[in-house]
Structure 1
């Protein structure tokens, strides 16, 4: 320290305290001299004066130095007080020399809390970090080694915050540790962002391809999955646009609509075809999201996609197996029914007529028996090819099975007289084509065919009746000597009149309580009963006990089906309530079939919940069986209804799976618990038919989707063994139990 500047800076202090020291000493010396010396002399005041000046000078120096220290401390504290970091000086005994005001922001506690509670920082340390903290404190007190820690503290408000704790020692001139100095920064937000970045980095390397572009769609980054799927390296695509991946299969309007969605909603999701580096075109599911800054401006686009080639192949295979005849590759009965339904709906709107031609090969059995099935199959393939050449592209040629073919011809006109001629002309053309000789290998085969024709006009005639009319006409052609065709005879209205009577009888059946419930057990692989399906029977006054197949179609046509469905549901829930007090049946689950019209009622959910509430049963004991066609026309509405019922505890089984649309894309969306394999597949499973592949595919698909499976119509041990080998867990059929009335079913349960 330079003396003169120091003296000049503290001049007032030196003048005041030097004068004060001199005055005190002189006053004391004067008193002593006057009291002790009889003859005071000025010489006696020289030494006291000098001593007073010295003491005053030393006192002034001490005060000045104290002021200098206080000033520097105030400057340091003022700087520390302004710091965002929480700073403190702590003595070895745990008391705090200084605590910055920012302790309130970081910890939630006031400075006074630290000053009044030694080692208060230790109390704030998170329980999981206290061992590390204690070790750190010990090292600081013993060795004074500077250290940086990342620790958590509990704030006054109950929050857990991350603190970066920088600590060093404070020593005296001899090197003795007096305490510690510490700077504590709140790094909670930094840690959160680091975790988010880590999560984002982990998510970036997913199995799905990820592409990030700037606002102008220039690629900034891609992940490893992108490179694996497309075949491009990241260096080959960065800086370019995703248009380099276009397959050429989509029109410009497709991409325009994509960008329109991104600009208006900030999102696009869908399927498209792209091209790999090797030129292979493949399908993918793509989701694009626009990333915006705080001002709402788009800064980036993030695309996430997956290669859905295998899924598309699986869907195509299931579609082919379910809708096409494997021998002739013609549509099968299921696809024919679907197209006929569409054609009849179009006919209803446009007023045009259509025709259905039933075709049967004459004496085909003789060919099979004499030449073998291989020759018969080759003939069937040839017949299918010839039929396809006789009709327009909008018409349908289908094979029902065996030697039975169907041709559906639509848009024949709207004048019945002309329509009959046109239908007959088409049938005559087909007949002439099929009656020509066939070259099968080295042999020539001369065969003929018979054709039955019926017309349809709108939906006035049901598909079932239309098939019956064509079948009757075919029978007439067979009886007329074969190799000919017949149009349906309107005189065969007896069947239609019979249908009308049945519809009237159905209405009476509800009023007179003629319906009754039968129960068919559903079992596991070990034979244990897991539940039952409720089956309806009609005790007709004249016809006796009728199965559903004999009257349900009439109920659907007449609209009575909704009342019947709700009647069955009420009776089933009442029976569950009755069984609730039984030890053996208390947890029994009943499956109830609900038709499409009933399910699509606007009050269906409320009605079902009301029935369950009135019966006083647990919703989990009721399983509702729905067909695919019940939902496909209003899928979103169907899912919403199912979600409401599922949230109440009711489970769902998809009945007759494989006979409808069987689309994996909507199957994943449905809140179903079980798939029910249609009996039509099970019936032919033991004959080496294509249905074996379909059933195995359905079981495997259900397992992958986490769904239970039950096969209906299991009647033989061979069918059971095959299904069990596929891993099918549930069964229903005559092999285990026939449909039984209530008391017989309860007796069966006791025995099994």
Structure 2
């Protein structure tokens, strides 16, 4: 037996693909079996299918067995034969004589079988007739059996095609159901629709009949929403006339009143009967429309938000970087890039030289771990303008467990950053000069002291105060003072390394913090001194204050630190002490802090406190020094202020006047001196009963340029009741040349009252002869510094001669002060000087001793 043929996989595959095995009885096959038995005149007939283990009877007549094992199957020999297989007497055939079906019930003795050969050549079974007695089968019977077998094969083929068609139809229905797409065909002759099952579902109607009825066009259009009916009819007409295929989205109204959205496609075809028809589909797109509406709403909202929205792919994070797939309108407005310019590019084109590398690395590390991240970065517009962007970046997974995109919401926070910078500037930097202020200086100094203590390093604090700055402010105005402070700040910065700090401590005080000095104290002091001397030298060049060349000098105090456990306040106090020592030493100098200096400063501070109380306590008094002519006749006196200190005794101006000049007390003290001198002159006049020699009063620059000086002076003269011609005001050159127009106007007003003016300390200032000619002065006083060595110093003698000759030309009186012996007086007389003042003529004394 050829078992290879029986077990051929292709044959078995063909058999199983027919889906016949183990199926219920079917009338066709039963009728074939009965007709075969009738044709052959046998009690038994079967339609047999054979697989690898058994023979199974699809139809049987006269046989109770539904199947038998393969070993008992006589039909097995039929499928292995090339034609009809006939056994006339099984008992005489050694192949079948021992078959249980022969030896036992049903006692088969004769067999005739025709193979069931399919179109592909595979034999799946047999049509067989069997008898319980031996017999010979006529040829006509065998031919009839062959024809019946062909009918079986043909039926099986048609059955298979029907099954496949039903399967395809079922699959199509399932596909339509799953895709929510129905199909239809409109007969353009009858104007009726043939509609698929899914169309009924979409339209909310269930039709249980296997063959749906034809639906008139009008009935079909009844479901269309009234507002969409006209457009649907136009689309149908365009498709029917061949203008264009139908493709329209519209609404339908279901029986319950609910509304759905459908999309209909249709094209012109010819049906099987050659009639014109429209073949179309209906797609239920309500959910898509709703999603689209939500997406459009979302996109519109994103377009309208002021924040920049950017969506990129999630990879690659390395070069060239993820690509941009979406940006909103705010992105275009913020960056200046159009959408079509950036789609497909990496966001890295927004970076520039100021973008923080460390922050980019932090953001990249977060994204590599698929974590959301916030950051503030400097980005750049298309024109290259930097701006601060606050970013919120989050990974997004679209139909995936791993992120597929990153969405970035960016806000332009440039204004906030500028405000923060401005606030920081206000908090830590001086608004006028841009230098670090006191707070930032203290922070840096505290840090520098910690470093010096930890690493045994050296540093220094230089405390700088501008000499006579208050005079500039009072005489030329605060705006000019502000300009000078700005120029000083710029000049100081040129001499200091970026690693050190130049700060404005307050007012006209500046502090320089030096942190990189030599560890050895001596070397550190030398380095600090060299810098200080450079600064002193730099101040020798006048400052251009709004077109006015102003000479300004600094007093510098230096305090070193090199690991000593001391706080910032103490170091600054030491530098401040050293600075005041520089002032006390003549200003325009540099001093280092020492412990003896602190003691002197403590005394000076106590003196300052006492001075503020002295005016109220009446501790100031006036002494008067005679002024005489060539004959020795007293022509006037100069009022000189003294301080009767309750603990230190009588103090001269050199010991306390600097305190007044560094505060506004100089104006108050000057007003008191002028008033007291005028009252004393009035007293002398009343006692003498006649006019007495005039009195000279020194007026400071701050007092003279005070807005109330002119009316106060006139009020004092009126109140005292003295002849204004008896009053002579002594002014220094610096007082007169500042704000020259205002100065001349004030002097002219007082001159009209009879007040006279004397130019004090002539020759020590920097005024020009043009000023001297323009000012309405009456007298010039030769400074005592020229008189002191006039007998032994030819230069001093030449200067005094020049001053006297100049005054004679200008018609001015000349008075020499500081004359201590007759030889000085005689030389000055020979040079042409007619008025004198000094110890030779008399020392300053109280009025009662004059």
TM-score by length of 1: 0.39
Q: What is the TM-score when the length of structure 2 is the normalising length?
A: 0.35
The higher-RCO structure (CA 8 Å, 6+ apart) is 1
Larger helix proportion of the pair = 1
Q: Which has the larger radius of gyration?
A: 2
